[in-house]
Amino acid sequence: MKDPTTARRAGRRRLGALAAGLLAAAALTVAGHPVAQAHHAHSGGSQPHLNDMHTWTPYEGIEDEHFCVQVFSGSTHAAALAAVKRALYSTGRPSWDLATTSDGATNARVDIRAKPSPCTSYPSAERSKIDFEYHVRSSNASIAACAYSDDISCVEFDRSIRSPSGSHYDFEWAYVYLDSDHLDSDQLINHETGHVLGLMDGGPRGGTWDTSCSVSLMHLPYYGCPNNNFSKPTDNDIRSVRTVIGR
């Protein structure tokens, strides 16, 4: 996902978009439409997501969704962690925390909690329990999921595991690769976090079959929905996450 408000990189963005488009087109052609199969229809179908979303405890524990921040370039750990927490916690609770909605604790299976130190500072055994990591770079030109492009943020899932219900395979870990220029955008941080929780892009230029401009943080102006300039998840997004949880 790119930042549409960053004018100074417009030329490079266009090149990045072209590269991303070519990559997506190549994937559509060569891989048998994997993008077209990536539903944002809230069915929970082929939407990769974190395994821990299916489980919860009433206290902080391994079932919660823990994240850490690692800065490689373009920022400091303190600034990047503050930016991510600002985006996720501006209301005092994580925007994606289902406990903030009316159905209360029994659906509080998304309970995002920040780890205070850089990801690589944790011993491997402890780090392995951190569900997702925000990796910050001044450019994601070295990251495949970001189409090797500057000014693009993206998500990678790792360690597939059988879901508690046995109905599908989801992922133990996810990585959000954030361009450091996106740290000032709650919209982009929450959009990428939406991917971690199983949501896909949508809109006329969203690259999925869901070309509607439904009220969603995943159907942004960048994808052809000019009125959807959200910075937080909408009720539709929370419903979508709940559907993914229910698989």
Partner 1 sequence: MGRPAVLAIGSGLAAVTVLAAVAMGAGAEPGHPEFDPDSSLLVSTRAELRICLDTHGQVDADRAATELAAATAEVGGHPDWGPSGYGAAPKVERGCPTTLPGPLDRGTVVGPGVTATPGPYRTVVVVLDGPTADRYLADAPAALLPYERMLVGEHVTATVSQAVAVRADFLGRPGFAADYLTPALGLDPARR
Asked if 182 and 153 touch (Cβ cutoff 8 Å), the reply is yes
Distant-in-sequence, close-in-space partners of 67: CB < 8 Å, separation ≥ 6:
84, 112, 113, 114, 115, 130, 131, 132, 133, 134
166 is an interface residue for partner 1 by CB under 8 A? yes
Pairing status of strand 169-179 against strand 132-137: parallel
Task: Compute the distance between CA of residue 41 and CA of residue 56 in angstroms, rounded to an integer.
Answer: 25
Expressed in angstroms, the distance from the first to the final Cα of the chain is: 26
Question: How big is the site for partner 1, counted in residues (CB under 8 A)?
Answer: 54
Q: Which stretch binds partner 1 (CB under 8 A): 34-42, 72-80, 91-99, 101-109?
A: 34-42
Q: Which of residues 169-208 bind partner 1 (CB under 8 A)?
A: 169-173, 175, 195, 200-201, 206-208
- Out of 136, 154, 241, 244, point to the residue binding partner 1 (CB under 8 A): 154
Residues 83/77, Cβ–Cβ less than 8 Å: no
Binding mask 60-99 toward partner 1 (x if CB under 8 A, else -) reads ----------------------------------------
Residues in contact with partner 1 by CB under 8 A are: 1, 20, 23-24, 26-35, 37-38, 46, 48, 119-120, 124, 127-128, 133, 144-147, 152-162, 166-173, 175, 195, 200-201, 206-208
